[in-house]
Amino acid sequence: MIGDKNMAEMKRIIATVKGKVQRVGYRDWIDEIASSSGIKGFVENLGDKSVRVVAEGETQKLKNFIEFLYARDHPLIKVLNIDLEWEESRDEFEYFEIKYGEFKQEAFERIGDAAVYLRGMMKKQDKMLDKQDESLDKQDKMLDKQDKMLDKQDETIEILKDVKEDTGQIKQDTALISSIKEDTGVMRNSLKSLEEIHKETIELHHKYDKLEKDVELIKDKLSIP
């Protein structure tokens, strides 16, 4: 009963895969996945640039295997469409294999595979170089900004030097003003002294006038001509 159940779970799929699937390592991709999944059958190239996959195995394993036929994570393979047929297993395969064409055709195809792979690698390298160029451009821009900042710092230092010189001149001017203030104070004191002398002189004039009047009165009283 268990053997019958396992036989009932075995199925066969015939998949015709179209797209960019020849000369990009697609058959090797399928062979590796099928062999590691316990699936038997074969994969081969067709004349219309498509690939045919005939595979037998347990139903769930085949369903998982079909997802890998799309090769979504492969950088060179691009599957556009898969025509899929399900059949009962014929149990006619011992393992999974790649069916190759004529030797010359396969040799040229392998060379083509290598050329395509190299082109893909070159494109990746070009993209990496482009990114490196972008990084270098960014670094150049950052260096330019640093140069501008340094130039501004130099300008600021020059301004500070000018300010320092101006400050020194201001200090000198301040000292001169202080000296002028001191001289002004001395002049004020001198003016005060002059004012006091002037007052004293006026008082002396008044005293002299009074004395002269007193002398005249005395003369009158004494009848002195």
Residues labelled as active-site residues: 27, 45
Rounded Cα gap, residues 164 and 158, in angstroms: 10
Q: Are 43 and 56 in contact (CB under 8 A)?
A: no
Helix, strand, coil shares of the chain as percentages rounded to 5?
Answer: 65, 20, 15
Rounded Cα gap, residues 15 and 93, in angstroms: 16
Interhelix angle 26-37/59-69, rounded to 10 degrees, is 160
Phi-psi region of 71 (alpha: psi -120 to 50; beta: other; left: phi over 0): left
144 to each of 87, 90, 130, 131, 132, how far by Cα in Å?
A: 69, 72, 21, 20, 18
Q: How far apart are the first and last CA of the chain?
A: 184
Q: Are 98 and 28 in contact (CB under 8 A)?
A: yes
Rounded Cα gap, residues 92 and 57, in angstroms: 11
